[in-house]
Structure 1
């Protein structure tokens, strides 16, 4: 597993979109620069592929930022990025912003992820939660009122509950709130928030009263420090833990989701960007397995590759605010 908590120096480098090479002390030279920014959830996958690509293509240089999905897509639509990484589909307002700026994009689903709800390992009282439990805990009406575990369930201890979750620039925030509270961006605000999943993992790992949510890859790599909570879609459903199998099958409802890269179509005219995106979509299955993501099925991956080769612009999710209504295979026409 190559995903890891970033060192302080590398975290600063990534947040400022400094080159990956800076973390490896590789001398900088005049090389083609490929710019990527966006989701911290997708960061470990893109980082691993970029490192591999730079080994086989030493004349190329990939910089990766973690401004969050919304931040990355805004920069893409301003024309200052070659690629944006996203943990949710682009929404209509963002697509309209790209169109107004004359920026066409190619949307490429690259893997599946499951938003993991986690607690500290010393937490002995929470084994599973229903979607309704999470809704009561995270909706905006809970702010300043639901502050103790015993308020969530009377059988839980009378201890403070400390929440950690995605920041408002994060695609994980948009997806989680849409799936759990029922309306994207409907959330309480009195929690520790970050667009960086590393920060959330560290927060939960250091607080026995904590509950947080973040990407599955971050949980899988640090499962000795945090414990996943099984989710029940409703009171009558089985409790399901996030695993590669439950995420791939869709049994981990409603928190299994695809993740994406969005490529500036104009950038694909550059040989270095075209080769990197081709490398990304060719090798993402093997790398996804290595860094804690769930690979796409072969037929879905082939359809994504065909989408790239045709430079098909626009979103598969246009006019659809959610990702649960149709499968990715159906959207790509290969179900």
Structure 2
């Protein structure tokens, strides 16, 4: 069939209109799908796809492996959030926290009254969260074949600031007359604070002990492994990580000697050196979506991560209590 010019013009116009309509429908469909995706991303309590920013954490070297593990897993799901974790010690962390320098402080002991007062003076309110249990572990060199256990009194005799003990023979008759090399965390460490309170009756540690001022427990590990007659103390996770070159010492608090294990720390029979570990969160910082998301992720996942890094998880009900604190 032949078409004249008039018919050809009509067909051309019809084809153009058809293409415009099809194109418009396609664009509308894509826009609708994108809108639906956006609604899906923002429908939860926290839009993790949009999270970004930096979260700075500092404090306890004992809690560091826990927080580092959480930060690593959180980062896999939130690549635009940068989480940095320092180890200035519990006391050092609280100083920075109360100055408003960091969002979260790791702590191997509860906040002290004077630290809480310093925070209050700067207008900083905090949320305290228990995250795991730890057993402060007393260790000697792997080649030490005479220390089978220590009483709390003997520990005091070794480390107390007023002690005159010099050799292992001074601690217990029959032990070698070899000079004791003592290794301890520094004064900013929550581990030191706990040991000072529970073992030293708050009298402080002796001047000739070798102190880790860097608040790095690996320094203490190296000190004890490098001295056949050395002795030190730090968190259970650091012993487990180095148990091939260290010997843990059972502690007798009056009911028989007990060594730190997952079970004895959790049930409290490893006394008096079992303790809870904490993180402290600046309430104001919780207004930042990335901080709130990280805190919620921490409590939701720390139970399963705790065992992986050598600590002891809290009961499930306790984690639910801690999670509820974040909703206030």
**Which residue pairs with 1:275 in the alignment?**
293
Structure 1 runs not aligned, ≥5 long: 1-29, 311-335
1:248 equivalent to 2:235? Answer no
Query: What is the CA–CA distance in structure 1 between the aligned matches of 2:219 and 2:135, rounded to whole Å?
Result: 18
**Which residue pairs with 1:104 in the alignment?**
125
Query: What is the CA–CA distance in structure 2 between the aligned matches of 1:256 and 1:59, rounded to whole Å?
Result: 37
Tell me which structure has the larger Cα radius of gyration.
Answer: 2
Query: What is the CA–CA distance in structure 2 between the aligned matches of 1:309 and 1:220, rounded to whole Å?
Result: 35
Query: What is the CA–CA distance in structure 2 between the aligned matches of 1:160 and 1:131, rounded to whole Å?
Result: 20
Post-superposition shift, 1:106?
0.3
Number of residue pairs matched? Answer: 276
**Which residue pairs with 1:161 in the alignment?**
180
Query: What is the CA–CA distance in structure 2 between the aligned matches of 1:57 and 1:92, rounded to whole Å?
Result: 36
**Which residue pairs with 2:153 in the alignment?**
132
TM-score by length of 2: 0.83
Post-superposition shift, 1:31?
5.0
**Which residue pairs with 1:10 in the alignment?**
none
TM-score by length of 1: 0.81
Q: Is the 8 A contact 1:108 1:308 kept in 2?
A: no
**Which residue pairs with 1:264 in the alignment?**
282
Once the two structures are superposed, the pairs formed by residues 30-179 of structure 1 within 5 Å of their partners are 31-142=52-163, 145-179=164-198
**Which residue pairs with 1:224 in the alignment?**
244
Query: What is the CA–CA distance in structure 2 between the aligned matches of 1:147 and 1:276, rounded to whole Å?
Result: 49
**Following TM superposition, where does structure 1 have runs of at least 4 consecutive aligned residues deviating by more than 3 angstroms?**
none
Kindly indicate which of the two structures has a greater share of residues assigned to helix.
2
Which secondary structure does the structure 2 equivalent of 1:266 belong to?
helix
Which secondary structure does the structure 2 equivalent of 1:46 belong to?
helix
1:285 equivalent to 2:303? Answer yes
Post-superposition shift, 1:230?
0.2
Post-superposition shift, 1:165?
1.0
Which secondary structure does the structure 2 equivalent of 1:309 belong to?
coil
Structure 2 runs not aligned, ≥5 long: 1-50
Q: Is the 8 A contact 1:138 1:188 kept in 2?
A: yes
Q: How large is the Cα RMSD of the aligned pairs?
A: 1.1
